[in-house]
Each structure stands twice: as C-alpha cells, then as structure tokens.
Amino acid sequence: KILFEITVELVAFVEIFDKFVVSEEITVELISSIELVVKSIKLL
C-alpha cells in the first residue's frame, strides 16, 4: 500500500515535471522507471 502511494506521488510529480522540462529524454526515462515500479508492485 505504501509503495502504491509513493508511485501515485511519483506519477503526479512526473506530470508536473513534464510541463517544465524541455528535454523529453529525461521524462521518458522517468516514466519508464515508474512503469517498471508499477509492474513490480502488480507482481506482488
């Protein structure tokens, strides 16, 4: 449950972060990392 809450906060952070970041590569890497975290949580 705690991991899920952290993930939600990360997603919200990235959505805000994405608006200010010019470099799409950084955003893509962050999103990919979060997707891996989400997949890991779903496996638990």
Indicate whether this model's pTM tops 0.75.
no
Task: State how far the Cα of 19 lies from the Cα of 26, in Å rounded to an integer.
Answer: 12
- Can you give the pLDDT at residue 20? 65
Domain count, the chain: 1
Tens of pLDDT, residue by residue over 2-33, are 888 888 888 888 777 766 665 667 778 878 88
Q: Which domain holds residue 28?
A: 2-43
DSSP letter string, 1-44? -HHHHHHHHHHHHHHHHHHH---HHHHHHHHHHHHHHHHHHHH-
